[in-house]
């Protein structure tokens, strides 16, 4: 049977779908990528949902009605300066910053779907939405092992490696212009 990939922009009022997103984040970060967390960190479900979700666009990727990926897009204009870790921690050069930037966060794909059409479809859908909302540039924070994955989708580093307080491993900011990603090659 052929798998059907469905990508949805989840409404703030759709509590059931939002719960699926938060549980998928929880599973991926607390079980699959737990080595990125400080020792002894409490991986309670509340860690994987916060007030930023209420000002962001939340996307859910499903295959045959089973959640397999999610991505949060938050326009810089909606973030308080203390919540924008790209600007606060990474010291991104000014030439990368345009009027309409956004932050990708909680980009979670179950490992068995990395480098598959799920990642491609989720990114295509999200980037088309970003373009339609006049977002010009996207930023994401990456651990070293994820850099090749994001580079595969044309993201490029735009900061030095840093290790913010509370992080177990160093991270780097990466960016891409939205228009250049609309025509992604899978």
CATH number of the domain bearing residue 116 = 3.40.630.30
pLDDT for res 185: 46
HSE (side-chain half, CA atoms, 13 Å) at 180:
9
- Residue 42 structural domain: 5-181
> In whole angstroms, how far apart are CA 50 and each of 18, 22, 122?
12, 10, 22
| Per-position pLDDT tens, the chain of length 186 | 467 899 999 998 998 999 899 889 888 877 766 555 544 444 454 445 567 778 889 999 999 889 999 999 999 888 887 778 788 889 898 888 877 999 998 888 998 888 788 988 998 899 899 989 999 999 999 989 889 988 988 899 999 999 988 777 899 999 998 876 555 544
Residue 186 lies in a domain: no
Q: What would you report as the CA-atom Rg of the chain, rounded to the nearest whole angstrom?
A: 16
Residue 50 lies in a domain: yes
Please name which of 73, 60, 75 lies closest in space to residue 122, comparing C-alpha atoms: 60
Instruction: Please state the pTM of the whole predicted model.
Output: 0.83
Spatial separation of the C-alpha atoms in residues 150 and 156, rounded to whole Å: 8
Residue 102: both structure tokens together: 């956004």
pLDDT for res 1: 46
Count of all residues that appear for the chain in the document: 186
Spatial separation of the C-alpha atoms in residues 60 and 83, rounded to whole Å: 23
Count up the domains in the chain and report the number: 1
pLDDT for res 175: 94
Residue 60 lies in a domain: yes
pLDDT for res 182: 58
Residue 13 lies in a domain: yes
């Amino acid at each position: 049977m052929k798998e059907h990939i469905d990508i949805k922009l989840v409404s703030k009022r759709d509590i059931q779908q939002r719960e699926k997103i938060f549980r998928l984040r929880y599973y991926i970060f607390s079980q699959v990528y737990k080595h990125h967390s400080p020792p002894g960190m409490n991986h309670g479900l509340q860690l994987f949902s916060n007030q930023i979700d209420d000002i962001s666009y939340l996307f859910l990727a499903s295959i045959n009605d089973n959640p397999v990926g999610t991505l949060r897009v938050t326009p810089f204009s909606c973030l308080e300066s203390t919540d924008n870790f790209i600007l606060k921690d990474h010291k991104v050069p000014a030439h990368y910053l345009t009027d309409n930037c956004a932050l990708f966060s909680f980009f979670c794909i179950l490992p068995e779907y990395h480098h598959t059409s799920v990642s491609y479809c989720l990114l295509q859908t999200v980037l088309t939405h970003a373009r339609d909302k006049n977002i010009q540039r996207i930023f994401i924070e990456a651990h070293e092992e994820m850099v090749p994955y994001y580079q595969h989708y044309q993201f490029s580093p735009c900061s030095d490696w840093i290790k913010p307080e509370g992080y177990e491993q160093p991270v780097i900011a990466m960016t891409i212009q939205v228009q250049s990603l609309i025509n992604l090659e899978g």
